[in-house]
Structure 1
Amino acid sequence: MLSLIQAAGWPIWPIIIASIVALAIIGERMWTLRLSVVSPKELLPRVLSEYKRNGVNPEMLARLQTHSPLGQILAVGLRNVKSTREVMKESIEESGRVIVHDLSRYLTTLGTIAALSPLMGLFGTLVGMIEIFGSNSPTGSNPAQLAYGISVALYNAAFGILVAIPSMIFYRHFRAKVDDFVIEMELQALKLVEIVHGEREG
């Protein structure tokens, strides 16, 4: 691996740093954006059951607030349970916007890496081309410098694309996952509002 980095020259270092950041974001988002963590299926039935038994109490709200993103939304809804349906829905929507922002954390960085990695590879290719042209002189060409220039150009182009492809795949995957979570949490919150206001059976 070290020999590849040496052959690719100094332009490879920004691509390596970008790949490390991308891997860290992918690992963190895969761990964070799990269904059991974001929007547990069993949470709403459990909340409704507790609400029907004991009503809303501070302990219940505090537990929900720290449970999951869906729990935070349900806690906001229950905090406004005595308000009108519209006020309850508005409070849930405001809370939802903050949670969506949190779920989308680092995705802009991952998308930026996906877009910039080929450009960083292209920059390395240009540096390699400069080395190739620099190997030519009136007395002849320098084979070692020519070979180094070619390796810099090719390795950087390859590494740039190699980082960009998985970064773009995971960026789109996580974006779609966040959208799915948003729809799911909206449905769960709407169900809570309708049941609490007697417009739907639990």
Structure 2
Amino acid sequence: MEFINQTIYLFHKGGPVMYLLVICSLFVVSIAVERFLYYRSISVNTQTFQQKLQPLLEKQRISEAAHFCEQTPAAIARIALAGLIASQRGSQVESALESAAMLAADRLREHLDDLSMVVTLAPLLGLLGTVIGMINSFSVFNAQAGQPMAITGGVGEALIATATGLSVATLSLVLHRYFSRRVNRLITDIEQTAALVVSYVLIKKTGRRESHEIA
């Protein structure tokens, strides 16, 4: 209980900027929760998925491969499905895979720029709160006679905003780095899966072309 009271006391001493920093922190937490749940929902063991998909592609069982991808709720499955559908329709497989991969990459990177913005914004808000607090501390109205601690105490309270801003920025930076690394791994998995689909589809097309030439 004492900790909560102390936190509330420091919050009020930090000035009005503290409300903006609280909004920033809640914004960061909401993005973190949304991104974590989203990445978990589209993640799958890439090696296991490719081991199940590859035999179907080797045997040119495209319909079964497409059905398998439809039943797998993962980003790499949607990319592979786009290529397989294009192959069945006689469209450009490479173009379909590239378009699907670009859309998936944009969805994966969504809100990461917002985290990067908070990394820069939070310390600036903290400094703003500190400057405002120091202006108030050095006001002639605060420098009362016989109270030398009036100014120094006010400066100490003004630094609360800076400490809070740096804390929010640090949290945002750590989360941004973590999610960026996860996005990079997912994009690598997407590229590998797309290459797998293209390689076997091209083999199929090459085989058909050679059979027509022989005929």
TM-score normalised by length of structure 2: 0.77
Question: Equivalent residue for 1:97?
Answer: 102
1:129 aligns with 2:134: yes
The alpha-carbon distance between structure 1 residues 3 and 81, as it changes in their structure 2 partners (threshold 3 A), is same
The CA deviation at 1:63 is 2.2
Q: Do the aligned residues in 2 keep the contact of 1:135 with 1:141 (CA within 8 Å)?
A: no
Distance 1:29 1:129 in 2: 38
The answer on 1:73 being equivalent to 2:79 is yes
Largest Rg, 1 or 2: 2
SS class of match (1:81): helix
- State the partner residue of 1:5: 11
- Answer yes or no: is the 8 Å Cα contact 1:114–1:164 preserved in 2: yes
Q: 8 Å contact 1:40–1:70 — kept in the other structure?
A: no
Q: CA RMSD in A?
A: 2.9
CA distance in 2, matches of 1:135, 1:142: 12
Indicate conservation of the 8 Å contact 1:25/1:106, yes or no. yes
Q: Using the alignment, how far apart are the partners of 1:73 and 1:138 within structure 2?
A: 67
String of CA shifts for 1:117-147, please: whole Å, max 9, x gaps.
1000000011111111224479648778646
One of 53, 67, 73 as aligned partner of 1:60: 67
The alignment status of 1:183 with 2:188, answered yes or no, reads yes
**Contact 1:74-1:189 within 8 A present in 2 as well:** yes
Q: Does structure 1 residue 24 correspond to structure 2 residue 34? A: no
TM-score (norm 1): 0.82
5+ residue gaps, structure 1: none
The gaps in structure 2 that reach 5 residues or longer are 1-6, 205-215
Aligned-pair CA distance for 1:7: 1.7
User: How many equivalent pairs are there?
Assistant: 195
Q: Tell me how far 1:96 sits from its aligned partner.
A: 0.6
Residues 58-101 of structure 1, C-alpha deviations (whole Å, 9 max, x = no match): 9827825x7221111011000111437xx211210111111001
Percent identity reads: 23
- What displacement does 1:177 show? 2.0
